[in-house]
Chain A
Amino acid sequence: MGLARACGVLLALAALACSSLETRKKEEAQATVRAFFTALPTGDCKVLGPMLATGGSARPCEDTVRELHEHGMELVEVLDAVVDGRDPNAVLVRAKLARDGAVRAEPFVLRVERQDGEWKLRL
């Protein structure tokens, strides 16, 4: 009986720890998206660059920022976030974005990845 209770407590603690870890990931990823779009109008890649994921298909910060400016992209609202079911180091943030002032009806799925211990937006 004592062992069963201990196992139950252990599992409950594990579930709690796992849930809070996932919640923290989602909050940090959403904060990264908000921080990037807040700083976007400055166009300063010294600030924006460290918030962008590198490697893979990622382009230089200057190119990404120039395109976003040309497009007049703005963050309207972060809707929600989920941890990528295939990659625990990536969070998919659903967000409403506006282009040249027009809000797109369909939300964008923005990928935020943990690189070098920081959450970074992949654009």
Chain B
Amino acid sequence: MRKILGALAAVVLFACGSPSGTSTEPGAAQPSEGLKLAVEPGTAQGTFVTEASQGSTEVKFSSREVEPGVYRLEVRFNGLTLTSLVDAENGVSTMDGFAEANGQDTQMMDPDRAVVAALYAALNAELPSGDAATPEAKYLRRAVGLWAEHPGTVQMQRTVMGEQGRGYTMLCSYAKCNGAWTGSCGGSYNWYSYAKHDCQHGGFDYTGNQQIAQLGNHATCSGDEYYLSGGVWYCGEPDHWSRPKVQGICFGRCGGGCGGDTQYTLDATNHDGCVRNGHALASAYCDDQFTSASDDELFAPNCY
């Protein structure tokens, strides 16, 4: 009887125990840091290993055209599988994330976002920008950019539908200043008003939730944006000031910072206006803006 009880306990512990993520055998060689990417007709796939400070996490990723204009994406790391089926022709995508060991739901946590953000940065550095990337590589980059900002409070399994004019509104013209997409505005700005969000401070109409922004890739300072105060540009982000003027690190561009795609849209501008205004990237207050900007990031065309 005691043996049976012991066996039962062992089976229960095994069956209900902690699922393990990707494990490394003791003594096994650590994969080398950085991105290994292979782009061939119909596929883009590879591995990425984060820096040692991020635990040398290994990420495996792939993007395959499974039907004309339809791409199946997969990113796997830390026991998490992220998948997406992107129908680029019809502007419809399903996205999901689940535990690799058992297929159950899980949640994007800060360390997960950090790993995906590092992969996004590596893809941006390696792949040609804009439409010069193959469709497989481009949609992989876009989805990775989206997952890197996925708030924990938003379900992993969702459908993203994009349709210009209803789903997303292009703001390409505001991304130019001084007649150019990049480079200094030289004092000749092309202001967009207002980037806006709602949060604990107030609704969309509250001036503290609004910014007057120069969109586009025209300035950066130590990885941050600039804001105008008393006629002087300062590096950093204002926290719920009344309609400050802001610019820098590709304000209004889909994806974090200056990603490899050049989509400037209304919803991406509002999302930047939230996460660069005293709210953390994954703040629940910016959930709505993130969800609204998702179809922009997957389906909006590049401005240049």
Residues of A within 8 A of B (CB): 6, 10-11, 13-15, 17-18, 21-22, 56-57, 67, 70-71, 82-88, 90, 92, 94, 104, 106-111
Contacts and interface: CB of A to CB of B under 8 A. Distances in A.
B19 A86 contact: yes
A22 B8 contact: no
Interface residues of B, number: 36
A107 B155 contact: yes
30 contacts: A10-B4, A10-B11, A11-B11, A14-B11, A18-B15, A70-B200, A82-B104, A84-B99, A84-B104, A84-B105, A84-B106, A85-B104, A85-B105, A86-B21, A86-B79, A86-B80, A86-B101, A86-B106, A87-B18, A87-B106, A88-B16, A88-B17, A88-B18, A88-B19, A106-B154, A106-B287, A109-B107, A109-B152, A109-B154, A109-B155
A86 B17 CA distance: 11
A119 B103 CA distance: 23
A90 B200 CA distance: 27
Interface of B: 4, 7-8, 11-12, 15-19, 21, 78-80, 98-99, 101-107, 110, 152-155, 199-201, 284-285, 287-288, 291
Contacts of B80: 86
Q: Is chain A's binding surface mostly helix, strand, loop or mixed? A: mixed
Contacts of B4: 6, 10
B154 A70 contact: no
Given A18-B16, A85-B99, A94-B155, A111 B107 contact: yes
Contacts of B153: 108-110
